[in-house]
Structure 1
Amino acid sequence: MFSSAQETKVSEDPTATFTGWAAVPNGNGILQKWSYHPRPLFEDEVEIEISHCGICGSDIHFTSEGWGPITRPAIPGHEIVGHVVARGEKAIHQIGDRVGVGCIVAACRDKLCDQCEKGEDQFCDQKSITFNAPYKDGRGGISEGGFADRIRVYSDYAFKIPKEILSAEAASFFCAGITTYTPLKRYKAGPNSRVGVIGIGGLGHLALQWARAMGCKEVVAISGRDNKKEEAFKLGATKFINTSDRQQLTDAAKSLDLCLCTNASKNNNWEDYLSLMGPLSHLVLLALPEEPITFKGTPMVAQDIAIVGSHLGNKADTVEMLEFAAKHNIRPWVEKRPFEDCNEACKDVHAGKPRYRIVLEMDAAQKNPHA
């Protein structure tokens, strides 16, 4: 479904080399420095010199082979910020623009595609995710992610970043941000909503801020421990539930209209979570657990509870989210690490140490001199 008008190549330099940190077969989750030749730059694409890339739980699932074996070197990373350094003549950005790239780098964008026609390109069957995915556009190649010095993407999958947002802060919006913003928007979080957030981490700390800024009647932080209770209130929570305290669960029964589950732990007690949901409520799964989810269905039927998933957001949602974040001063809490320390940083993310995101930052001296 990709248009033949998109097939004009701008650059086909076979010596162009991008370098990053790749997961490799039998690598035990240890990233190794690896270089590759990118596919040609086309007229509707941009090349971005990367300055920052966030580390997401999805990167850890991939590199640790929790989602299956790694069969080829592949550079992870899908919370990317940098500047445009090359463009095709039909690209929507100019040289020097500061842009961000998230979890998708291509979709068919064709009116014959039901999802792209509706503006829900994140569901397009022809989409390519940001790393380790074959392109389906007929141009060839496999996508490589943002733990690298450069990346080439369709220009409409690179988003200009409002000047109010620092680059290190902006990175986390392109996965953690859009993942939490979209379901709150879709299920109409606002002054009449009692919203819960399960898991006060990389996703949850942003979800609390969105819900607060949307003016929700209650913003409830839900965790199995009290160690983040004080921070949860600083982030916008109006109430805190410790799920290890049975009395707190009992007192909060049927109290939520909407709840985002950002925790992928195999120790999740789904029946406890369902007990918190009120009539006609939505429990939205955002994290991607490696283990099957099991629970009794009685509460769902008795209270008309919908358990739903939410997958990213579309391009319009992303633009809107960035503007909303700039307007309401919503920012991820980030710790910057140099790209060269990516292995230690990934270990810390896997161990749940960050408060609340780690963002890799490229040292100017390490940038690829390739032009």
Structure 2
Amino acid sequence: MSGPLKGIRVIEIGTLIAAPFAARMLAEFGAEVIKIEAPNDGDPLRKWRKLHEGTSLWWYLQSRNKKSICVNLKSAEGVDVVKRLATDADIVIENLRPGALERLGLGWDVLHGINPKLTMVRISGYGQSGPYRDRPGFGAIGEAMGGIRYTTGDVDGAPARVGVSLGDSLASLHGVIGALMSVLRVKTGQGDGQVVDVSLVESVFNLMESLVPEYDLLGHVRERSGGALPGIAPSNTYRSEDGGFVVIAGNSDPIFRRLMQVIDRDDLADDPALTHNDGRVAQSAMLDAAISAWTSRHSTSDILAALETAQVPSGRIYSIADIVADPHYAAREMLLQTSLPDGTPVRMPGIVPKLSDTPGAVNWQGPTLGEHTDPVLADLGFSPLEIEQLRNTGAVQ
């Protein structure tokens, strides 16, 4: 493994999305990620969404660069394996229900006592404290209670969801940020490891811009607005003559003038009442109608060409087929050509962010269940006989 996180050891005790996605990002940049999976079935993500030869394609992406060891955490011997891993680990990432690790004998007090330098990232629905602490929480609930579902959808329609697991992914990103801040504190000698407490609800809520002061000071509740961006105008989705949809963001003062000139509305470009955003917001419906009148008379390609020439931010809405065919994605190495363990060629998403000197890398796709159990245990000092004994007792698989 190489990368800026080379030498960082991560223990992942999680399933499905939030903790595994956080660990995946660390693994892509050089961290040694040891994923602990339950015997027999492992992470349920292995069977989620579309499968190839019985294994989820999402699994191969979510678990790339990770080592899989199969440990029975319900056995004392299995718990001891995790404790030995923790002695020289830098980060533990988990997304079990609050209190679950404590019941297994692997809570923060125990692991911190073994390794004071350890950082523990704990991702849960509502956080490790508070009256909702013990409620089960999935990403969809985080999106609902974090505020984003209420503001998403058509004006007169029901709240809508984004078509991916947004709440989980946002929690993962917050977990990575917190983990790196904590490890930096340790590595620079400023203190010991600490708990990074990440809530799905709070991770979504952290994106909700000025909703709180708008409500607290003005009593304003931001409602659903379809494709528009509330309080910022003009910024919306407009239909073209050929039935396509184009997103146009003409919401800075100079960009607005250029947009109005493109659509042959110099009268609006020169209107002093529309010079600044607050004036445009007051007449956003009129501006959307003017822009729609123009887009409805032109093809999607002509609209985008005209707006690009005028330096007005715009773009058509991409499906995955559009993404895969787009030359910019290819040029940015966002579509990596790789292969599955059986040799089947497949493209996978590239790595974000792009680092100039120490870029991330994909060294292997998601491993088979328990693929690295023996070498990881040997690295911890277990003899072949001890590993066989652990296997015979069911502590490892």
Q: Identify the TM-score tier after normalising by the shorter chain.
A: under 0.3
Q: Is the strand fraction higher in 1 or 2?
A: 1
- TM norm structure 1: 0.27
TM-score normalised by structure 2 residue count: 0.26
When Rg is computed on C-alpha atoms for both structures, the one with the higher figure is 2
- Structure with greater proportional helix content: 2
